[in-house]
Chain A
Amino acid sequence: MASAAVGIRERVLAAGARIKRVKRLDRFATYAITLGGVFIVASVSFIFLFIFGQAVPLFRSAHGRALGVMPLAAVPPAEGTVGPPRPLAVGVDEYQMYLYELLPDARLVFFKTQDGSRAKEFAVTSLAGAGVTAASRSLIGDFVAAGTADGRVALQQVRVLPKYEAQRLVDLDVEVRDRGLVDVDGAHRPVRAVVYEEHEGWQAVAAQVADDEIVLYRHNPDESAEERQTVRTRDGERITAFTLGHADTLAAGTDKGNVYLWELPGESRLVHMFPVSTQAVTAVDYSIGSHSLIVGDAAGAISSWFRVRLKDDDPELSVVRAHQYAGQGQAITSIGQSTRDRSFVTAAADGSLVLRHLTSERSVLSFPATGARPAEALLTPRSDGILVRQEDGAVARYEISSPHPEVSWRALFGKVWYEGYAQPEYVWQSTGATDDFESKFSLVPLVFGTIKGTLYAMLFAVPLAIMAALYTSQFAHPSIRQRIKPMVEIMAALPSVVVGFIAGLWLASRVEMHVVPVLLMFAFLPAMGTAGVLVWDRLPHGLRKRLKPGMELAVIVPLAALGAWLALRLGPGVEGLAFGGDFKGWLHTALGLVYDQRNSLVVGLAMGFAVIPIIFTISEDSFSSVPSHLTAASLALGASRWQTALRVVLPTASPGIFSAVMVGFGRAVGETMIVLMATGNTPVLDWSIFNGMRTLSANIAVEIPEAPYGGTLYRVLFLAGGVLFLMTFFVNTVAELIRQRLRERYRAL
Chain B
Amino acid sequence: MSLRKSIQRGDHLIWFTGSALGACLLMIAGLIAVILFNGLGFFWPSPLVKVTLKDGAVFLGEQVNREPIPNPGHPDHLEKHRIQLKVGNRDLLGFDFKWIDEADITATERPGGVFVVERREYGPLLGTPEVVKQGDRVLYQGADAIRQALPLLLAQASRDRAAVNRIEKDEIGAINYRIEKGRLRSKKIDFRAQKEPGRDLTAERAEVERVTAEAQKEYQAKQDELARIMETAASTSVTFRTADGAEKELRALDIYRAYPANELGWFQRLRIYLGRLWTFVADDPRESNTEGGIFPAIFGTVMMVFIMSLIVVPLGVLAALYLREYAKQGPLVRIVRIAVNNLAGVPSIVFGVFGLGFFVYFMGGSIDRIFFPEALPTPTYGTGGILWASLTLALLTVPVVIVASEEALAAVPRSMREASLAMGATKFQTILRVVLPAAAPGILTGLILAMARGAGEVAPLMLTGVVKLAPDLPVDGFFPFFHLDRKFMHLGFHIYDVGFQSPNVEAAKPMVYTTTILLLMVVVALNFAAIVVRNRLRRRYQTSAF
Give residues of chain A (499-530) contacting chain B, Cβ–Cβ below 8 Å: 499-502, 504-506, 513, 525-526, 528-530
Known: A640-B9, A718-B353. A582 touches B519 (CB 8 A): no
Q: Known interface pairs A498-B516, A525-B19, A672-B349. Does A30 touch B338 (Cβ–Cβ under 8 Å)?
A: no
Residue B395 at the chain A interface, CB threshold 8 Å: yes
CB-CB under 8 A from B224, the residues of chain A are: none
Tell me which of B3, B13, B520 contacts A642 (CB under 8 A).
B13
Contact B72 A582 (CB under 8 A): yes
A-B contact pairs, 11 of them (CB 8 A): A33-B318, A45-B339, A47-B350, A471-B14, A502-B35, A529-B22, A553-B21, A641-B9, A721-B350, A721-B353, A724-B347
**Which residues does chain A contribute within 8 Å of B459, judged by CB atoms?**
496, 672-673, 676, 697, 701
Contact A26 B500 (CB under 8 A): no
B330 at the interface (CB under 8 A from A): no
Q: Answer whether residue A66 sits at the interface, using C-beta atoms and an 8 A cutoff.
A: no
* A47 engages B19 (CB within 8 Å): no
- Give bound CA distance, A704 to B350, whole Å: 12
Chain A proximity mask over B462-503: 1 for CB below 8 Å, otherwise 0: 110000000000000000000000000000110110011000
Q: By the criterion of a CB under 8 Å from any partner CB, how many residues of chain A are at the interface?
A: 117
Q: How far is the CA of A701 from the CA of B516 in the complex (A)?
A: 21
Residue of B nearest to A25 (CB): B428
Give the contacts of B1-51 with A (CB-CB under 8 A).
1, 3, 6-28, 31, 34-35, 38
Contacts A505-B499, A642-B11: A529 and B18 contacting too (C-beta < 8 A)? yes
Contacts of A488 in B (CB 8 A): 24
The answer to whether A152 has its CB under 8 Å from any CB of chain B is no
Decide if B340 touches A41 in the complex (CB within 8 Å): yes
Least CB distance, A648 to chain B, in whole angstroms: 13
* B-contact bits for A27-44, CB 8 A (1 contact / 0 none): 001100110111011001
The smallest beta-carbon distance between A40 and chain B, in angstroms, is 4
Residues of B that sit less than 8 Å from A by CB = 1, 3, 6-28, 31, 34-35, 38, 67-68, 70, 72-74, 77-78, 190, 315, 318-319, 321-323, 325-327, 336, 338-343, 345-354, 356-358, 361, 395, 398, 426-429, 431, 452-453, 455-459, 462-463, 492-493, 495-496, 499-500, 505, 509, 512, 516, 519-520, 523-524, 526-528, 531
Question: Which of B24, B34, B70 has the most chain A CB atoms inside 10 A of its CB?
Answer: B24
Write out the residue numbers on chain A whose beta carbons fall within 8 Å of the beta carbon of B8: 640
CB of A567 closer than 8 Å to a CB of B: no
Q: Shortest CB–CB separation between residue B525 and chain A, in angstroms?
A: 10
A contact residues around B509 at 8 Å (CB): 505
On whether A642 and B72 interact (CB within 8 A), knowing A529-B19, A556-B15, the answer reads: no
Question: Which chain A residues lie closer than 8 Å to B458 at the CB level?
Answer: 495-497, 673
Query: How far, in whole Å, are A258 and B31 apart by their CA atoms in the complex?
Result: 67
Cβ–Cβ < 8 Å partners of A491 in chain B: 24, 28
**In the assembly, what is the distance between CA of A498 and CA of B492, in Å?**
8
Q: Quick one: which of A50, A646, A731 has the most chain B CB within 10 A?
A: A50
- Given the known interface contacts A26-B428, A44-B340, A497-B496, the answer about A489 and B349 at a Cβ–Cβ threshold of 8 Å is no
A122 to chain B, nearest CB (A): 36
Could you say which of A468, A502, A677 contacts B17, with CB atoms under 8 Å apart? A468
Which of B25, B321, B353 has the most chain A CB within a 10 Å cutoff? B353
Which chain A positions have C-beta within 8 A of B527?
Answer: 489-490, 493
Give, as a whole number of angstroms, the nearest-CB distance from B195 to chain A.
13
> Is A677 in contact with B21, judged by CB distance below 8 angstroms?
no
- Which residues of chain A in 616-645 are interfacial with respect to chain B, using CB atoms and an 8 Å cutoff? 616, 640-643, 645
If over half of A's interface residues share one DSSP class (helix, strand or loop), that class is named, otherwise mixed; here it is helix
Tell me, in angstroms, the Cα distance from A4 to B429 when the chains sit together. 32
One of A475, A526, A609 near B31 (C-beta < 8 A): A609
Q: Does the CB pair B531–A486 fall under 8 Å? A: yes
Q: Within 8 Å CB of B14, what residues of A?
A: 471, 475, 552, 641-642, 645
CB distance from B157 to the nearest CB of A (A): 34
Q: Distance in Å from the Cβ of A272 to the closest Cβ of chain B?
A: 46
Given contacts A497-B458, A525-B19, A525-B23, contact A37 B321 (CB under 8 A): yes
**Chain A residues with CB below 8 A from B336, complex form:** 41
Which of A186-194, A328-336, A385-393, A663-671 forms part of the interface with chain B? A663-671
Q: Is the CB of B3 within 8 A of A704?
A: no
| A36-B319, A532-B18 given; A671·B524 CB < 8 A | no
Bound CA span A439–B457, Å: 31
Docked-complex contact A494 and B17, CB < 8 angstroms: no
Task: Give min CB distance, A95 to chain B, whole Å.
Answer: 18
List chain A residues, Cβ under 8 A from B18.
Answer: 471, 475-476, 529, 532, 552-553, 556
Say yes or no: A530 contacts B528, CB within 8 Å: no
- Residues in B with CB closer than 8 Å to A504 are 499-500
A470 to B, closest residue via Cβ: B17
| Cβ-defined contact, B346 with A728, below 8 A | yes
Residues on B with C-beta less than 8 A from A736 are: 338, 341-342
Decide: A502 and B20 in contact? CB cutoff 8 A.
Answer: no
Cα A476 to Cα B14 in complex, Å, equals 10
Leading 3 A-B pairs by shortest Cβ distance: A670-B347, A37-B322, A529-B19
State whether A533 and B456 are in contact (beta carbons under 8 Å apart), knowing that A23-B426, A497-B496, A737-B338 are contacts in the complex. Answer: no
Known: A37-B322, A700-B349. A497 touches B17 (CB 8 A): no
* A75 sits at the interface (CB 8 A): no
A597 sits at the interface (CB 8 A): no
Q: Which residue of chain B is the closest to A53 with respect to CB atoms?
A: B357
B15 lies within 8 A of A552 (CB):
yes
When C-beta atoms are compared, the residue in chain B nearest to A733 turns out to be B342
Partner of A468, one of B6, B21, B500: B21
Nearest A residue to B35 via CB reads A502
